[in-house]
Structure 1
Amino acid sequence: MLNQQGSPMEGLPWFKVVMNVENSDISQVKDAILRTDSGTTTGRIVNTRYSGVPTLFKGFASGNTSQSGNTPY
């Protein structure tokens, strides 16, 4: 659903992106709700209903995601 890809030019530094999804209803996602290739990006999903989603987060560094109040259906 939301994907941050790496720098298009090799050697350029990564920049931090903060991804937030709140109070949403998401269904039929093929990959992940939030995805990144950056080790500094953070992701947060709160109070969101989801269905047909294989994983909430993909590619995030350990400790860079949080979630609360989400409901699968």
Structure 2
Amino acid sequence: MAHASSIGRCIDLFTDFGFKRIFDTERNKDLLTDFLNNLLANELPSVKALNYRDKEKSGKHYSSDCPKSD
């Protein structure tokens, strides 16, 4: 039986943390490009370039069919 110290660390890509940990870095830009191109192969033209922003945008987002609240 393997000891915990000999088992590698795993990242769950189905979590927000895991997805961002892998794909949200300039170093892994090629991984995200390949992922998007495979995911959207029959839907859109291929992704040629990606631009990363420093921070996520957070806050209230409204659509036209949702009433705004103050």
Task: Tell me which interval the TM-score lies in, with the shorter structure as reference length.
Answer: under 0.3
More helix by share: 2
**Higher relative contact order, chain-length normalized (CA < 8 Å, sep 6+):** 1
TM-score by length of 2: 0.22
Larger Rg: 2
